[in-house]
Amino acid sequence: MSNTPRPAAWSRLNVFLHWTIVVLVLCQWIEGEYMADFWDATLEGGSIGTTTAVLGYGHIVLGTLVLVAAALRLIDRYTHGRPPHDAQEPKWASLLARVTHFLLYTVLLVMPVLGLAAWFTGNDDLAGYHAFLWNPLLALIGLHIVGALAQHFWFRSPALKRMLPGLRQSA
């Protein structure tokens, strides 16, 4: 994604944003059901309970933070570069990781944009596309976690250690 020289480690900001996004996506999972009710009630003019309203607005705020954090990660990755994929790893594994990372970034940016567009226009189709992307995102996250564990335990590459805040070497 960039021609910047490869650093030995991820920047502190990038590691912080990676784990921040993990926590935010977990929150979105919990709040998603409430947001769906909040959305229906907003469109149909039904009554909204306090919990649904608070978690619905929370969904909008935390979802927007995902958009900001993913964009910042991409800017950081572009300006600082990313550490290289392990040379010992088979080519197919590095390629699969690259494709998964690309798709993860795409969904992390497109999902909140669709959600915000639906919210500000009141368009239920956009909300539907937004909700539809949730299962593909879960599948990508699952593949990504299996990949990270395989890199660590099977290929014995440093990828997981350099993404863990306490274990990473400084850039």
Binding site for ligand HEM (CB under 6 A): 18, 21-22, 25, 28-29, 32-33, 35-36, 39, 59-60, 63-64, 66, 77, 82-83, 85, 97, 101, 104-105, 108, 111-112, 115-116, 118-119, 127-128, 130-131, 134, 141, 144-145, 148-149, 159-160, 162-163
Residue that the structure tokens 């992390």 belong to: 108
Neighbours of 77 (CB within 10 A): 19
Residue whose entry in the numeric block shows the structure tokens 């440093």? 158
* 52 to 4, 36, 57, 117: CA distances (angstroms): 45, 9, 8, 21
Report the nearest approach of ligand HEM to the CB of residue 117 (Å): 8
Q: Which is nearer to ligand HEM, 96 or 116 (CB)?
A: 116
Measured CA to CA in angstroms, residue 46 lies from 40, 41, 55 at distances of: 8, 5, 17
Nearest distance in Å: CB 50, ligand HEM: 19
Query: The tokens of 97 are what?
Result: 């990781």
Kindly tell me which of 47 and 115 has the beta carbon lying closer to ligand HEM: 115
- Minimum gap (Å) between residue 39 Cβ and ligand HEM: 4
